[in-house]
Structure 1
Amino acid sequence: MKSGKQNIRHFTLPELEVYFEELGEKKFRAKQVYEWIWTKQVHSIEEMTNLSKELRQKLNDNFTLPALVINSTQYSADGTVKSSFKTFDGHLVEGVLIPTENRVTACVSSQIGCSLSCKFCATGYIDRKRNLDFDEIYDQVVLINRQSEKIYGKKLTNIVFMGMGEPLLNYKNVLKSIERITAPDGLGMSPRRITVSTAGVAKMIRQLGDDKVKFKLALSLHAANDTKRHDIMPINDSNNIKSLIEALNYFYKQTKNEITFEYILFNNLNDSIQDADELTKIYRQVPADLVNIIEYNPIEFAQFAKPDEDKVAVFMKHLEKNRVNAHLRRSRGKDIDAACGQLANKN
């Protein structure tokens, strides 16, 4: 063991086995601790009740278990639940429970703040403090799942990495959290029920392909030409649409996993028939399953507006006429700032 306390959840089972043998304890104690951490999802060493008090004290002397705790919870009229989680070092990060008729989804964050500065997103106006560790991402899912069971009597059916931060700029922790979420001795969720959303980091989209990941991928497109996308998403400067199309095709070739485009409609910005035609052109260059058309949710920092219903209907009809598999996604949790683009640690 190195000097100083270390996060016990950052140790693999074989590493814990070595530690217990060095301590003169039976090797099976490592498996007990590992089950407490990942299967039973305890948030303190004191809760590991099949270990002696003496052994728990030794663990407390050598390890930390810095779990997330719920700082505050807000309940929307539509059933959406937003929670603010506090990290061990005092930062806040938000996650959302989204119930619908057929599914219960956890929307989780991957970073504290964000470095991408997308103009329409509240999180983009918050400086990135740090990446979340994989166990902190896992904690969000555990805590939101408990809320789901308590409020709706159902376990989570889906997870989307669409909260605060850019998941592909916290690549290792996001993948390791998904490994734990999908592991039989973790939450045991199918990776097919997990979607990672990115603002578009072409190099890391290709890396996902090389790593043969099993989860779905969503690209936040939001504008179908480089000029408009540059105006609202500065990341387009280094990751233009052509490079993203190439990366998505590589990802699909390597994994055959589902790809979705996310497209927020902004009034008089990206909602014209020409925009719909440009979106159709991109859709046809990628084996995408779906285009999610999302209604814009106002934030106090930005001057965007959503188009009226008639304009939205014309846009959708034009996509349909061009055989684009498009779905209009109505936002949920707007009254508690829990909808798409609204997470900002206000409370």
Structure 2
Amino acid sequence: MNEVVEKKNIRNLSVEELKKFLIAAGEPGFRAKQVSDWLWMKSARDFDEMSNLPKALREKLKEQFTVNAATVHQSQYSSDKTIKNTFKLSDGNIIEGVLIPAPDRMTACVSSQVGCSLTCKFCATGYMERKRNLDPGEIYDQVVLIDKQARENYGIPLSNIVYMGMGEPLLNYANVLKSVDRITSEDGLNMSAKRITVSTAGIAKMIKKLGDDQVKFNLALSLHAANDTKRNEIMPINEQNTLKSLAEALKYYFIKTKNPVTYEYIIFDGFNDGLQDAAELAKFCKHLPCKVNIIEYNPISFASFQNAGEDKTEAFAVYLRKQGIITNVRRSRGKDIDAACGQLAIKEKA
């Protein structure tokens, strides 16, 4: 009776581990670099694509390993040219990622977890359960597939990546950093780390760890209120990660990396849109070099929040600018296909 070999995900192996396997299988060690290049530079999705490997070696690899590549399950096209994708993972789980075209950039918004555990009250993903973390290859695949989409639809490659999709990136710390390494490495996609932004709801000890690891990518904090009472109400994570602890962690991060931080501030009607709220935010901004992105809110069926009016939003931005804070007002993209900020939750298209 033939023993069934449980195949391993080849993308979880380092080049050294691959080399050991190949030598034990009677193959020359230099093949490990060739296999790795196919997986991470050329984004091969199966072993038959590895055309400079002998057929016998490809068969050996097939017997022992899988690639576990993510695939595009569905794509929806917004009237503003945003494209939302559901990606199917090798275990059948579904995640979402978005291509956001703009005149000066092509941005991929990628997910880091299947679902989310943080239960932010204004975010559709927060109403889903967190099933598992994504591995580095599954994050990498989103970038590769969205880049292909950008080239095919708009003739322009990806220029930027934001980890702002489903999940909390800092709760999948090791895999997120490995995925950034695959995306930025010369042996990978060779993109600049300065064009990558990782967004967190605010986990103080992990922000400090980013500083210790001296990361090169940009950090964004989803703030949405600069007073603990209000932030606790909409973001339960603030109860263990108060604004004081976040300010300390961010200062530590800045000392270690010299990277300024972006604060994301969704402006809700009648909740955090007053000049007192702006004054609290301005005070929080004094801790380190930063900029503020005021984000239009996109209502979801689970919550009763509404977007603040144009006049309130403008007055809020003007106040911050008068305090010397770089402030941008971000208009939502992909609202008509539930692809905008805070709207990512798995809904099959009829």
Q: Which amino acid aligns with 2:309?
A: D
| SS across alignment from 1:169 | helix
1:39-60 CA-to-partner distances (Å, cap 9, x unmatched) read 1101111221222332212111
User: 1:12-44 CA distances to partner (integer Å, 9 max, x unpaired)?
Assistant: 112111111111112222222111111110111
Match of 2:35 in 1: 33
Q: Does 1:308 find its partner at 2:322?
A: no
Secondary structure at the aligned position of 1:339 is classed as: coil
Q: What residue in structure 2 maps to residue 87 of structure 1?
A: 89
Alignment partner of 2:232 out of 226, 230, 233 = 230
Asked whether the 8 Å contact 1:226–1:236 carries over to 2, the reply is yes
* Segments ≥4 residues shifted beyond 4 Å: none
User: d(CA) in 1 for partners of 2:323 and 2:312?
Assistant: 17
Q: What's the counterpart of residue 53 of structure 1?
A: 55
Q: Secondary structure at the match of 1:268?
A: coil
Q: Secondary structure at the match of 2:208?
A: helix
Corresponding position of 2:214: 212
Q: Which amino acid aligns with 2:106?
A: V
Alignment of 1:182-201 (within 5 A): 182-201=184-203
1:154 to partner: Cα distance: 1.3
State the partner residue of 1:334.
335
> What is the TM-score when the length of structure 2 is the normalising length?
0.97
CA distance in 2, matches of 1:318, 1:212: 33
Identity of aligned residues (%): 60
- Whether 2:324 is the aligned partner of 1:323: answer yes
Q: CA deviation at 1:287?
A: 2.0
**Equivalent AA in structure 1 for residue 314 of structure 2:** A
Structure 2 match to 1:278: 280
2:105 corresponds to 1:98: no
Q: Distance between the aligned counterparts of 2:278 and 2:32, measured in 1?
A: 57
SS of the equivalent of 1:82 reads strand
Quote the Cα distance in structure 2 between the aligned partners of 1:291 and 1:250: 19
Residue 147 of structure 1 aligns with an amino acid whose one-letter code is: Q
> What is residue 265 of structure 2 aligned with on the other side?
263
What per-residue deviation string (whole Å, max 9, x for no partner) do you get for residues 115-164 of structure 1? 00000000000000000001100010011111111111111111000000
Aligned length: 344
Q: Which amino acid aligns with 2:238?
A: N
Secondary structure, counterpart of 1:88 in structure 2? coil
Counterpart of 2:155 in structure 1 is: 153
1:78 to 57, 77, 80: 80
Aligned to 1:175: 177
Q: Which amino acid aligns with 1:35?
A: D
**159, 162, 165: which one pairs with 1:163?**
165
Distance in 1, Cα, partners of 2:46 & 2:310: 50
1-structure distance, mates of 2:56, 2:324: 67
Structure 2 Cα separation of the partners of residues 7 and 246 of structure 1? 39
Deviations 1:52-81 (A, max 9, x none): 332212111111110000000011111111
Contact 1:249 1:287 in 2 (8 A): no
Letter in 1 for 2:13: F
Q: Contact (CA 8 Å) 2:99, 2:106: kept in 1 or not?
A: yes
1:221 aligns with 223
Distance in 2 of aligned mates of 1:39 and 1:321: 46
Cα displacement string for residues 271-313 of structure 1 (whole angstroms, at most 9, x for unaligned residues): 001001001100112221x100001001110000011111112
Task: Indicate conservation of the 8 Å contact 2:260/2:288, yes or no.
Answer: no
Amino acid at match of 1:200: G
Q: Deviations over 1:231-256 (max 9, x none)?
A: 00000000000000000000000001
Partner of 1:249: 251
Q: Which runs of 5+ in 1 are unaligned?
A: none
Which stretch of the first structure deviates more once superposed, 19-28 or 258-267? 19-28
Taking the aligned partners of 1:20 and 1:320, their CA distance within structure 2 comes to 59
TM-score, length-scaled by structure 1: 0.97
**2:344 aligns to what SS in structure 1?**
coil
Q: 2:293 is paired with a residue of what secondary structure?
A: strand
Q: Counterparts of 2:45 and 2:77 in 1: how far apart (Å)?
A: 24
How far off is 1:184 after superposition?
Answer: 0.5
Q: Indicate the residue corresponding to 2:70 in structure 1.
A: 68
The CA RMSD measured in Å over matched residues stands at 0.9
